[in-house]
Amino acid sequence: MEHQKIYRFKFGESFVAELNAFSKIHQYDQRSDFKQAWNDWLDDNSDLVETESRRLTTLGYEGDVVDKMFKSARYYYRKKGAEKKEPKKRHPYVGIQKELLTAMDEHILANSGLKPAVGFVDFCMNKQHIELLRAEVLSLLDVGVGCADMQSKIKKTYKNRYFILINS
């Protein structure tokens, strides 16, 4: 059975806890003070460091493990916040009517030589599509989409469909 190659070597949980604790204690140290404290910490925790180094080397890590530990402590764990951030609220997805999507697809295929931005302007200026666009605008107004967001949404939809159709 072939093993999957590892590209990102992570430290073990117990080692991460110790490294994180060290980083938080020395979070605001100057670089020279941090480096001195790091060397002292390496001496005090030599068994833990040796065990983790052996584990990563066994997994196939080829770099300098102690250097990886230092960089993680200095540049990652030292700045990492303790609290979890709440994910941002996303707006509910508002779809575009099928008739408009079909008209966009037909226009894109018929005018594939145009750039997406030029094609979108041509699509909007075409008298065949005015009623579809008007119906879509009213539909988007009904669900509470603002004018600036509305134009952006229709334009983005056109460009996305352009790249899907041209690249397929």
Nearest of 157, 136, 158 to residue 147 by alpha carbon = 136
Q: Which domain holds residue 153?
A: 98-167
Residues 71 and 124 in one domain: no
Residues 104 and 161 in one domain: yes
* pLDDT for residue 145 is more than 90: no
Q: State the pLDDT at residue 89.
A: 87
* pLDDT for residue 40 is more than 90: yes
Q: State the pLDDT at residue 50.
A: 95
Contact 11, 53 (CB under 8 A): no
Calpha distance 34→74 (Å, rounded):
8
* pLDDT for residue 3 is more than 60: no
69-105 residue pLDDT tens = 999 999 888 887 766 778 888 888 889 999 999 999 9
**Number of domains within the chain:** 2
Work out whether the CA dihedral 129, 131, 132, 138 comes out positive or negative.
positive
Domain assignment of residue 6, yes or no: no
Domain assignment of residue 7, yes or no: no
Residues 72 and 113 in one domain: no
Burial of 41 (0-12, 13-18, 19+ CB in 10 A): buried
Domain assignment of residue 37, yes or no: yes
Domain assignment of residue 93, yes or no: no
Q: What does the block give as tokens for 102?
A: 């079909």
